[in-house]
Structure formats: C-alpha cells, structure tokens
Amino acid sequence: MVAHRHRHANPPPGPLAPEEVAAFHDVGFIVVRGLWRPREVAAMARAFDRLAAAAAHLGASGDHRGSAFVLGDRPDGRGAGASIQRVVWCGAAEPILLRYGADPRLVSRAAQLLGVTDLEQLINQAHFKIPGDGVAFPWHQDSRHRRYGTPEWTDVTGRGSFVETLTAVDPMTADNGPLQLIPGSARLGHLATDPPDHALPADRFDPAAAVDLVLAPGDVALFGPYTIHGSAPNEGTRPRRAFLNGYAAAGANRRVYPGRGAGRRLTAG
C-alpha cells in the first residue's frame, strides 16, 4: 500500500513528520517502527505473562486488582474462561503497563495527531491472541465504542478526537490474526451500525481492500476512530499479543470507563 501524500493544513509540531500526520488523516493509520526498545518489550511480555496467570486463577470474567478481565470459552471446548478476550485497564494490575501508557513517545504522537496538548487516556488494554483460542474482532470503528453521536462524546477537534495505539508485543504476521485495516475508510466518518449486532453497513466498505498489519515487537500502529478495522483468529503457532493505549482530546469524553484510574489526564510536554 502506498500512502497518499495529501497535506494536513498547518500540521502541529511533534515527533511525526508532516507527511505522517497527513497519512494518518487520509489513509487512517500509520506505523512507527521500533518505537520500544527490546528490553521494554520484554518487560511488557513479562507483565502479560503475569496477567495470563491471574486470568487462569480467576477462571471467569471479573475484576482483579482494579483491572477488568474479559474471559471466554475456547472453540475446542477446553473449559470455560480458558481464553482471554482482553484485560481492560491492565495497568491497574500491572503498573509497568500504566507507566508505558503514559510514555512521552506515545503521548506526544497522539497529541500531535489530535492537535492538542491535553489528553484523557481511555484505553490501556492487554490483548491476547493465543493459537486456537478463537479470539477475533469483527469489522468496526472505534467511534462506536467511544459513544459517538451520544451525549457521552463531543468531537472537540472536528476529526474524531481520539487516537488508538497498538504496540506489538509479539511478531504480528499474516497467519496469527493480525490487525486488518481498510485504507481510506477514515474519510467515511462515523457510520451508523445496523441492529441488533451493530454490524457496519456492508455497502459502505469493501473487506477485500483490507491490509494486514505486519509488525515486529516494539512497532506501534496509530489509527483514528473512523478507521474500519478488525482481526481474525490466530491460526498460527505463536501468540500474537498486543498492548493498546487510546487517547482522547480533553473535553471529548463524558463516559466513565472501567478500571481503577481509567480516564486519567495526561499532558504532552
């Protein structure tokens, strides 16, 4: 895929080049290679291992040390609660993940893309994709989960007011359930979903246009709230874990998010 080079009017200063800011708004996502050092990724992986051990002890969805564990069943029937859908506000249980979520390397890039200095962190999640666990995410826009179009959300920037970041903890490859994105879908804006399953209208995008995001550990993808994305189950032989941190422009969100300390305020310095 070749990113279009349309320029964003007066790109704000920051660590991203003007063409990266333009690609984010036009294509809908960008990738920063090698943002995290190997030792930092190793520390994230150890924290994920501890979260997995805690999930095995819980055996069912619930709160643990201020984090919300969302567990499910494996398709092979090997026990209820045997798959980890995600751990919401994972840094409450593993503070090192909360520290990485406030790292200036993430926060400054999110702030630059939003064109603001004051942020509210809504997302700090550990996603586990273990071979055979069946975990998948249908096509969606994050704008629906932010409650776009309701009193709980105001688009204060005029461009969605939210940036999601995904850090690869393990290699993300074509066969292990990679994040898939529809280039250019961000230009559609927020799409109303069809009840009862909140599916995106099939006539508004072409799944065949999706690209697989191939990442090495330590790479970071950044995408906006209107970018259509999803992922299939892990059909490979290795885990595909990802660390998600999402930031809203201050004043956009009025919803209370789960997790002890969720919704913290951050400032890009």
DSSP 57-126: HH-SSEEETTEEEEEE--TT---TT-EEEEEETGGGTSHHHHHHHT-HHHHHHHHHHHT-SEEEEEEEEE
Task: For residues 225 and 205, give the distance between their C-alpha atoms in angstroms, rounded to a whole number.
Answer: 16
Total tally of structural domains belonging to the chain: 1
Q: How many residues does the chain have?
A: 269
Residue 27 has pLDDT above 70, yes or no: yes
Burial of 125 (0-12, 13-18, 19+ CB in 10 A): buried
Residue 48 has pLDDT above 60, yes or no: yes
What SS3 class is residue 13? Answer: coil
What local confidence, expressed as pLDDT, does residue 78 receive?
Answer: 57
Q: Is 218 part of any domain?
A: yes
The answer to whether residue 11 sits within a structural domain is no
pLDDT for 202 beyond 90? no
- pLDDT mean across residues, the chain: 92
Q: Given this model, what pLDDT does residue 59 score? A: 87
- Classify residue 4: in a domain, yes or no: no
More confident residue, 194 or 37: 37
User: Residue 7: its pLDDT value, please?
Assistant: 36
Can you give the pLDDT at residue 79? 54
Confirm whether 10 is domain-assigned. no
Evaluate whether residue 12 is within a structural domain: no
Over its C-alpha atoms, the chain yields an Rg (Å, rounded) of 18
Proportion of the chain above pLDDT 90, given as a percent: 85
Provide the residue range defining the domain that includes 211. Answer: 21-267
pLDDT score for 14: 80
pLDDT above 90 for 73: no
- At residue 4, the pLDDT reads 35
pLDDT digits (tens, 9 = 90+) for 97-117: 999 999 999 999 999 999 999
The answer on pLDDT for 3 being more than 50 is no
Instruction: Label residue 164 by pLDDT band (50, 70, 90).
Output: very high
Cis peptide before 196 (omega within 30 of 0): yes
- 253 neighbors 146 (Cβ within 8 angstroms): yes
Indicate the DSSP class of residue 161. S
Report the C-alpha gap between 151 and 5 in whole angstroms.
35
221-266 pLDDT per residue, tens:
999 999 999 999 999 999 999 999 999 999 999 999 999 999 999 9
Looking at the domain assignment, is residue 27 inside a domain?
yes
Euclidean distance between CA atoms 34 and 20, whole angstroms: 16
The domain that contains 209 carries what CATH number?
Answer: 2.60.120.620
Residue 7 in any domain: the answer is no
